[in-house]
Structure 1
Amino acid sequence: MYQPLMGVVCTNLYMTLAYMVEENRLWSEEWNHYHLMGLLDLNLDDIYHARLKLEGMGLLKTFVKEAEGHRIYIYELQPPLSAEQFFTDGMLNIYLYQKLGQTHFLKLKRAFSDMSINKEEYSEVTRSFQDVYTSMSIQALKNFEGQQHSSSDPDMRYIHREKTETIQISADSFNFDLLLSGLTTAMVPRKAFTATVKDTITKLSFLYSINEMDMQKVVLSSMTADDKIDLDELRKAARDWYQMENDDQLPQLVNRKQPVMYRESDGAGVSKESKLIFYLESTSPRQLLIDLSEGAQPAMSDLTAVEEIMLGQQLEPGVINVLIHYVMLKTDMKLSKNYMEKIASHWARKKVKTVKAAMELAKNEHRQYQTWANEKNERTQKRKTPIRTEKLPDWFIMQEQEQPDAQSKTPAVENDKDFEERRRKLEAIQRKYRKDGGEKGGKH
């Protein structure tokens, strides 16, 4: 159930770590990462990213300490969810369904379920302990040595099965005060928001990208006659809302925003470049396309192209944002999938993970990318004159202005009103970050 979501590398890492622990033991011997690299035939970077995915799925906990100039890690495996927990999780099961499709999803579901027997037609005749066994003497029950030796040693613990924990979405990602501000106690009593209900709302908000205002409608539609929130109805209402907003499409398992570990800006910088980096790191590719259209939903073909490149080239969302930003200004405000894919493939080979690294690579490889763009223009615009030279993003020009020789090689854009109108929406995003001073702590 987990492998389609994480990939085979993560599954192999999990099973290898489990294999390294001897039977009936809690801990394995101490090994170095070089040994793990040899077992898996992977480099350390691949193992690191597989580890992060296992942690995100709740299958691994990692601990580290510094000792004599080197680090020692503890990788503590966590038990996977049971089939019932997984298929009723409300988030993982939706991701799995979207990944596998209906036919294979139902086949997998049948593999983990069996026929239910109605026990109501039977009478239980099981004997209790006292019905079968006689009690020991009072003296035997008071045996102090037996009790003493049964206690575990201070530095030891009994082998047992750990309790499975479901994936937790941070409550900080959803503002319940804002949700409740639009729901009077007459509409929804506050006691209806139990810990389980709040956890479900947080998960649904993350899964379907539902904000607090839209969640109010979802909650209201799930109320029962006795003023309680029906969890099944809540999930159904959230799913219906998403499909209505997204042409009956279910969400994909992709990171919506740049992972925290790959962010390099906290939004405190006042320069236009640092503000733009923060925006690209804290915005999803889908939201970037919406912002470029001033709130209009992006074309499904554009979303599909971006998603396929994200998944196919394994690029982070922030890096994809830089790619969108660069390509749209180079191709007459159009998302050319072939052109994007060519650059994305190059960035994937270079193992680009951060927004800043993507910007730097685009600057350094601009001539090569220009050649690729010209090859496309020669094929699709062979009979059009004059040939327009596209504008570059602000973050590109920032560096070009510091290099007079390079700047002199950047041709000017023709005065074309239609072209400028198409460009206006994208440049509106950049203008938000052009004020170098006096705007600290602004909204992003």
Structure 2
Amino acid sequence: MKNNWKEVQPKSIFQVAVSFPLSDQEQDILALLYQPIIGANAFSLYMTLLSEVAHTGVSESLFHADLITMMDKSIKEIQQARLKLEGIGLLDTFVKSDAELGTIFLYRLNHPETIERFFKDEVLTLTLLNSVGQRKLDKLFERLKPKFIQLTGYEEISANFKDVYLFREEQIVAQNDQLQQIEAAFNDARPRKKLSAVDESFDWAYFVQGIERLGIKLPNDHEGFKEEVYIFHNLFGITEIDMIDFCSKSFDYYSGEIDVKDFERGIYRTYDPDKQQRKSEVLRSERAKLSDADQQTYRYNSLKMNGFSEMDIQMIMDSEKNYPLNYLEALKSGKGGYTTPQERSLVKYLVSKSGLPNSVINILINYVYNIQKQPTLKAEYVNRIANEWAQSGITSPEKAIEHVREIAQKSKNQTQNKSRYSQNGRPIRQETLPDWVENPVEEQKLSKEEQAKLDKEIQDFLSKGGDR
């Protein structure tokens, strides 16, 4: 992520741009579907920036000090809000340098997705679910889903356009240049952004060549299918060759295109949590070409030299050998538990959206399950930790372990400082700790009706081989 906030000062100048005004429905979508995900501050920032855009589509030049005053927020709070808008695709930020004015920022506001595209986007829907919970998601979906009227028994008698309006076809030729100019003005040359789960460890070009040799075509939604392939690769460690094999068993014989639903079903059946799942290869050092056994020894010695205990080293090496769903399954089955459909969806979301390496996700799972003694992974709590780790640049399992211990020590110091403060009455500076340190989400008991509904969903899930 390019971080230009180091250059932002209250005196830094910015402008806001938007392609065309937001409709009333788009503002409803922002409030109902996006605000629960991005939070009140990010929603307020979007609306504040929008209010500054003139009819020309571009605002006047403003200082960030103006934004601080209008929102009554610190520059750090505005920064966090801006990142949330950028991450979900509602804002693009651009900078340029000026010899006299310094760095100038341009904030381009993007329109929210339509209701249809929002709910058809797996990542957006799952993010909303993790933000509001299943009950609220069901209510939002029920409110916003299309209401198609049953027309059985009716006969349509509507008038045609040409029966009512005078229209001369020759005008299309006469006014062709003007019509094309008008049409072109509404064409956005920017490619549509999509939340990405791209992983360079998967050779996409090799995979495509493999299915083409079999005479199989990619589905129409190339990018959407590509995201699915990357997510499954990250979740289960499926190789390019095995992925080609899945495609060879799930394509339409008439069109030759991959049947995405059948493709997903095949993977879920093969990697059902009740069955043996394959593990990833041992991570290899880029500095030495070693055998698997020597690579393990090299990794062990490196960790030992850096002061990690035997228990730490075992945890780190286990986190690197296993894919997240395998790892969670092993932890829970070791204590006689089982993985819920909600947990599987959450882990899939972490792999596709958090940006954390699989090994770090595994340490996070271990922390929540074994250290915090949580019987299940709860979306709100896990996402709070994942966000903080991502923003702290946690890129390896050893960094994750060190980070947890460092924060635990700070928490212990704060407790001691509070004790001293109560004794001598002098204030002591305290560092702010992430809210997940001592505040895990409490397990909420379900009503009988909710429990019955959840039990039915689990049975449906299992009967379909995990196809959701």
Cα distance in 2 for residues equivalent to 1:94 and 1:229: 24
The aligned counterpart of 1:278 is none
Task: For 2:82 and 2:190, locate their aligned partners in 1 and report how far apart those are by CA, in whole Å.
Answer: 21
Q: 1:14 aligns with which of 11, 26, 46?
A: 46
Count the aligned residue pairs: 309
Structure 1: runs of 5 or more not aligned: 260-280, 331-337, 353-444
* Closer/same/farther in 2, CA of residues 257 and 351 from structure 1, 3 Å limit: farther
Q: How does 1:13-412 map to 2 (within 5 A)?
A: 13-22=45-54, 24-69=55-100, 70-118=102-150, 121-123=154-156, 125-129=158-162, 131-133=164-166, 135=168, 165=192, 167-169=194-196, 173=200, 174-177=202-205, 179=207, 189-194=214-219, 196-203=221-228, 205-206=230-231, 209-213=235-239, 215=243, 219=247, 222-224=250-252, 226=254, 227-234=256-263, 244=273, 245=325, 247-248=339-340, 249=343, 250-251=345-346, 284-288=359-363, 301=373, 304=377, 308=381, 311=384, 315-317=388-390, 324-326=400-402, 339=408, 342=411, 349=431
Q: TM-score, normalised by structure 2?
A: 0.51
Deviations 1:185-240 (A, max 9, x none): 68xx4542145145323256348635442755764664445443223444556677
Structure 2 unaligned blocks of 5 or more: 1-32, 274-324, 330-338, 416-429, 435-468
Residues 341/98 of structure 1: CA separation in 2 closer, same or farther (3 Å cut): farther
What SS class does the counterpart of residue 346 from structure 2 fall into? coil
What are the Cα deviations for residues 330-367 of structure 1, in whole angstroms up to 9, with x where unaligned?
9xxxxxxx947837999x94699xxxxxxxxxxxxxxx
Give the whole-Å Cα distance in 2 for the aligned partners of 1:344 and 1:112.
49
- 1:223·1:229 contact (CA, 8 Å) conserved in 2? yes
Contact in 1 for aligned 2:93/2:107 (Cα 8 Å): yes
Shift of 1:43: 1.8
- Report the 3-state secondary structure (helix = DSSP H, G, I; strand = E; otherwise coil) of the residue aligned with 2:97: strand
Distance 1:101 1:110 in 2: 14
Quick one: distance in 2 between partners of 1:313 and 1:171? 18
Closer, same or farther in 2 for the Cα pair 1:66/1:198, shift >3 Å?
Answer: closer
Change (3 A) 1:88 1:328: closer
Measured after TM superposition, the shift of residue 36 of structure 1 is: 0.9
Classify 1:132/1:167 alpha carbon distance in 2 versus 1 (closer, same or farther; 3 Å).
same
- Residues 1:323 and 1:136: Cα distance change in structure 2 (over 3 Å): closer
2 CA distance for matches of 1:159 and 1:257?
A: 31
Aligned equivalent of 2:34? 2
What residue identity is the alignment partner of 2:113? L
From the superposition, tell whether residues 322 and 112 of structure 1 become closer, same or farther in structure 2 (CA, over 3 Å). same
Once residues 184 and 159 of structure 1 are traced to their aligned partners in structure 2, the CA distance between those partners, rounded to angstroms, is: 37
Match of 2:281 in 1: none
Asked if 2 retains the 8 angstrom alpha-carbon contact of 1:79 and 1:164, the reply is no
Amino acid at match of 2:38: M
Is the CA contact (8 Å cut-off) linking 2:219 and 2:225 kept in structure 1?
Answer: no
> Which residue type is aligned with residue 202 of structure 1?
E
For 1:86, give the aligned amino acid: F
Distance across 1 between alignment mates of 2:186 and 2:222: 34
Contact preservation (8 Å) 1:81, 1:165: no
CA shift, 1:14, in A, is 1.2
Root-mean-square deviation over aligned CA pairs: 5.1
Query: 1: CA distance between counterparts of 2:42 and 2:414?
Result: 23
Aligned equivalents of 1:344 and 1:192: distance in 2? 60
Paired with 1:42 and 1:91, the residues of 2 have a C-alpha distance of 30
Give the C-alpha shift of residue 107 in structure 1. Answer: 0.2
Please say if residues 62 and 76 of structure 1, whose CA atoms lie closer than 8 Å, have aligned partners that are also in contact.
yes
In 2, Cα distance between equivalents of 1:74 and 1:306: 34
1:325 aligned partner, one-letter code = I
One-letter amino acid matched to 2:165: V
Separation in 2 of the partners of 1:143 and 1:92? Answer: 42
Q: Distance in 2 between matches of 1:133 and 1:328?
A: 73
Q: Deviations over 1:15-44 (max 9, x none)?
A: 21112224x441222211111111222222
Secondary structure of the residue aligned to 1:316 is: helix
Query: What is the deviation of 1:86?
Result: 0.9
d(CA) in 2 for partners of 1:224, 1:254: 31
Match of 2:316 in 1: none
> Partner residue of 1:379?
none
**Contact 2:46–2:109, Cα closer than 8 Å, also in 1:** yes
Tell me: CA distance 1:193–1:343, structure 2 relative to 1, closer, same or farther (3 Å): farther
1:349-386 per-residue CA deviation (whole Å, 9 max, x = no partner) reads 4699xxxxxxxxxxxxxxxxxxxxxxxxxxxxxxxxxx
Structure 1: which amino acid aligns with 2:361?
R
State the distance in 2 between where 1:225 and 1:28 align.
54
TM-score, with length taken from structure 1: 0.53
Question: CA contact under 8 A between 1:86 and 1:93: conserved in structure 2?
Answer: yes
> What is the deviation of 1:93?
0.9
Give the match's secondary structure for 2:94: strand
Shift in CA distance, 163/194, structure 1 to aligned 2, threshold 3 Å: same
Q: Secondary structure at the match of 1:75?
A: strand
Return 317-326 or 298-307, whichever deviates more: 298-307
Name the aligned partner's letter for residue 76 of structure 2.
Answer: D
CA contact 1:197–1:231 (8 Å) conserved in 2: no
